[in-house]
Amino acid sequence: MKLYQLIIVLVLFISSVANSQNDLPLRLDDSKIKTLNNLSNPLLQKSLEQELNKVPAWKKLIAENKMAVGVIDLSNPEDAKYASVNSNQMMYAASLPKIAVLLAAMDAIEKGQLKETPEVVKDMKLMISNSNNQASTRMIDRLGYAKIESVMTDDKYKLYDKTYGGLWVGKRYAAGGPTNREPLKHLSHAATVAQVCKYYYLLANGKLVNNERSKEMLDIMENPALHHKFVNTLDLIAPDARLFRKSGSWKNFHSDSILVWGKEATRRYILVALIDDANGESIIRNLVVPVEKVLKKALVI
Q: Which amino acid type is present at position 87?
A: S
Q: Is 159 within 8 Å of 140 (Cβ atoms)?
A: no
**Rg for the chain (alpha carbons), in Å?**
19
Identify the pLDDT of residue 4: 43
Q: Is 53 within 8 Å of 69 (Cβ atoms)?
A: no
Identify the pLDDT of residue 12: 37
Distance (Å, rounded) from C-alpha 49 to C-alpha 52? 5
Q: Alpha carbon of 280 to those of 15, 28, 225, 226, 273: distances in Å?
A: 43, 36, 20, 16, 9
Q: Quick check: helix, strand or coil at residue 59?
A: helix
Mind listing the pLDDT tens digit for each residue in 76-131? 999 999 999 999 999 999 999 999 999 999 999 999 999 999 999 999 999 999 99
Q: What is the 3-state secondary structure (H, E, C) of 207-270?
A: CCCCHHHHHHHHHHHECCCCCCCHHHHHHHHCCCCEEEEEEEEECCEEEEEEEEECCCHHHEEE
Per-residue pLDDT of the chain (301 residues; tens, 9 = 90+): 554 444 333 333 333 343 445 799 999 999 999 999 999 999 999 999 999 999 999 999 999 999 999 999 999 999 999 999 999 999 999 999 999 999 999 999 999 999 999 999 999 999 999 999 999 999 999 999 999 999 999 999 999 998 999 999 999 999 999 999 999 999 999 999 999 999 999 999 999 999 999 999 999 999 999 999 999 999 999 999 999 999 999 999 999 999 999 999 999 999 999 999 999 999 999 999 999 999 998 887 6
Alpha helix locations (H) across the chain? Answer: 3-20, 36-39, 42-52, 56-63, 98-110, 118-129, 133-143, 145-152, 193-204, 211-221, 230-237, 280-300
